[in-house]
Amino acid sequence: DLYSLGITCLHLLTQMSPFDLFDIKTNTWVWKDYLKRPISQRLTRILNQLIERNPSKRYPSAMAVMQDLKSGPIPVKLTKAVQQKWVLTTWGGVALALFSLFMSSRLPSVVPQISSQPPEPIYEVPDLKIPVPQIENFAPPMLQNPAAVRTLSKNTGPVWSVAVSPDGQFVVYGNTDGSINIIDANTGELINTLLGHSQPVGTLAMSRDGRTLVSGSGDQTILVWDLWNGRQKKMLYGHQGWVYAVAISPDGETVASVSRDQTIRLWDIDTGRTLRTLNGYGTEVQSLAFSGDNQTLVSGGTNGIVDIWNWHTGELLRTFKAHTEAIWSVAISPDGQRLATGSWDHAVKLWDLQQLESQYFNNTPEHILLGHQEKVQSVAFSPDGQTLASGDFGGGVKLWNVDNGGLFGTFKGHQTWVNVVFNPQNHTLITGSFDDTLKVWPLLPQN
């Protein structure tokens, strides 16, 4: 009796009689109002389906519950985690899994107070009237005979964030409903869906070994996932606003995050414990990136200022005005030599990062890359560090030569803002857009 199992779980979670957990006047369950401790959105969904008033909407079998409780391994060529053999009956497994999911979703003893104010509109972007600099006598070389773009996936809603596995086999992207889809990088076939967030997943980061995924959401939480078995490992609490960006340190031990609450937080990825909080300066930080040597953290804010941190000590090494408008994206080249910043002032800038960190500070960029007609949403370096890709709020994508700042490619295929990421194993660029599509752009001409 799955319904009775669900009712029993509600009693265990609230220590109250099930008759007190149902509101006769509204004909709805109100058990969440009596929880002793918060639980994850994923467990909430499972319990609500177990206790559905309409029998046709409940789980059809115990195996269906088990399927939602444990996500299967991703069917790609990854090192397989050791699987424990099931020695319980199906019913015993359901009860044990429900209990385990509850325990894994428990908050630390000190629970941050989250504002009850409704979130700000998530689609509205200020209409900034910024004059675009005129470029005279500039005829950048374009790609010769570019290969045809293909749509990797047509989503049911906006693509908020995109990441690619280090082996280039699968693409991960965040959705408006809080879900995360994993698809085959070659075919676009859906491999797995990760459930845990309750609001849009606006940022994703993947570890260098491809095993760990970190996601940040409008629900103010950060989730750590094990991609080898598709399971949630940790839920990181502490931010008091929308999580704008997350990054994983090169050694895979630390997560950095920025939020609408104007703070940068550093977390131990294994324990979920907050290591350090870097307070902002009365402005929101929109983006951040770790340097390849694991020593430096760079952040960009809505005031156009770049901050360079020694994240191990929390010391602010350098702060300078890089753009006239908000910096929406920062990226550091694979060799750690260059910093790229993309801004709402329509410009992309390349900086000598080592020079910025030195005592002979000079905030003059190496190159100012002009050509976008809209606010710049994202920037990304190619695996060899020779090419920079940038995407804007109008759906435009551009490719730049890092050494000389020349524009050598312009891609038009999206209708609205776009995130860019290179596949590290082949000469392709993957873009995810608010127009509900993911596209693959080959960067080498076809023979």
Q: Which domain CATH number covers 433? A: 2.130.10.10
Q: Do 50 and 195 fall into the same domain?
A: no
172 shares its domain with 99: no
Tokens at 303, concatenated? 């005031």
* Angle formed by the axes of helices 62-69 and 90-104, nearest 10°: 30
**Helix, coil or strand: residue 412:** strand
Paired sense of beta strands 376-381 and 222-226, if any: unpaired
Q: Quick one: pLDDT at residue 271?
A: 92
Does residue 136 lie in a domain region?
A: no
- Say how many domains are in the chain: 2
Report the alpha-carbon distance of residue 82 to residue 428 in Å, rounded.
Answer: 33
Asked whether residue 261 is assigned to any structural domain, the reply reads yes
pLDDT classification of 297: cutoffs 50, 70, 90: very high
**Least confident piece of the model among 21-25, 41-45, 84-88, 287-291:** 84-88
Structure confidence at residue 71 (pLDDT) = 52
Q: Is the pLDDT of residue 125 over 50?
A: no
Q: What's the pLDDT band for 119 if we cut at 50, 70, 90?
A: very low
Q: How confident is the model at residue 281 (pLDDT cuts 50, 70, 90)?
A: low
* Reported pTM: 0.69
Is position 125 within any domain?
Answer: no
* Interval 307-351: pLDDT, tens: 999 999 999 989 999 999 999 999 999 999 999 999 999 999 999
Pairing of strands 407-412, 396-401: antiparallel
Q: Provide mean pLDDT across the span 216-239.
A: 92
Per-residue pLDDT at 78 exceeds 50: no
Residue 289, pLDDT > 60, answer yes
Contacts of 248 (CB under 8 A, 6+ apart): 205, 206, 207, 208, 212, 214, 254, 255, 256, 269, 290
Range in 42-46, 403-407, 427-431 with the lowest mean pLDDT: 42-46
Pair (24, 162) in one structural domain: no
Residue 279 has pLDDT above 80, yes or no: no
The residue with greater pLDDT, 256 or 209, is: 256
> Is the model's pLDDT at 446 over the cut of 80?
no
Range 216-223 average pLDDT: 94
The answer to which of 201-210, 230-239, 355-364 has the lowest mean pLDDT is 355-364
- pLDDT at residue 45 in the model: 80
Same domain assignment for residues 430 and 304: yes
Give residue 347's domain range.
Answer: 150-442
What confidence tier does 400 reach under pLDDT thresholds 50, 70, 90? very high
Q: Which residues pair with 34 in a beta bridge?
A: none
d(CA 158, CA 434): 4
Same-domain status, 179 and 264: yes
> Are 178 and 284 part of one and the same domain?
yes
Say whether both 415 and 331 belong to one domain: yes
Q: Specify the residue for token string 């340097």.
A: 291
- The reply to whether 197 and 92 lie within a common domain is no
**Same domain for 155 and 254:** yes
Mean residue pLDDT across the chain: 81
pLDDT at 148: 63
Binning pLDDT at 50, 70 and 90, where does residue 212 land? very high
Q: Are residues 310 and 371 in the same domain?
A: yes
pLDDT higher than 80, residue 114 = no
Helix H or strand E segment including 77: none
Mean pLDDT of 91-115: 42
CA contacts within 13 A on the Cβ side of 199: 18
| Tally of residues, the chain | 447
22-75 pLDDT, tens per residue? 877 667 888 888 887 777 767 888 888 898 878 887 888 888 888 777 654 444
Is the residue at 198 inside a domain? yes
More confident residue, 358 or 423: 423
Question: Where is pLDDT greater, at 370 or 446?
Answer: 370
What pLDDT was estimated at residue 92? Answer: 45
Q: What pLDDT shows up at residue 128? A: 32
Residue 131 in any domain: the answer is no
CA distance 317 to 176: 36
| pLDDT (tens digit per residue) in 126-148 | 333 333 333 333 333 344 444 56
- In this structure, are residues 130 and 346 in contact, taking their beta carbons and an 8 Å threshold? yes
Q: How confident is the model over 181-190, as pLDDT tens digits?
A: 999 999 999 9
Establish if 32 belongs to a structural domain.
yes
Residues 95 and 159 occupy one common structural domain:
no
Residue 128 lies in a domain: no
pLDDT of 108 reads 38
Whether residue 163 is contained in a domain is answered as yes
Q: Which 8-state DSSP code applies to residue 251?
A: T
Domain check: are 99 and 186 in the same one?
no
Q: How confident is the model at residue 425 (pLDDT cuts 50, 70, 90)?
A: confident
Nearest to 311 by CA among 254, 350, 358: 254
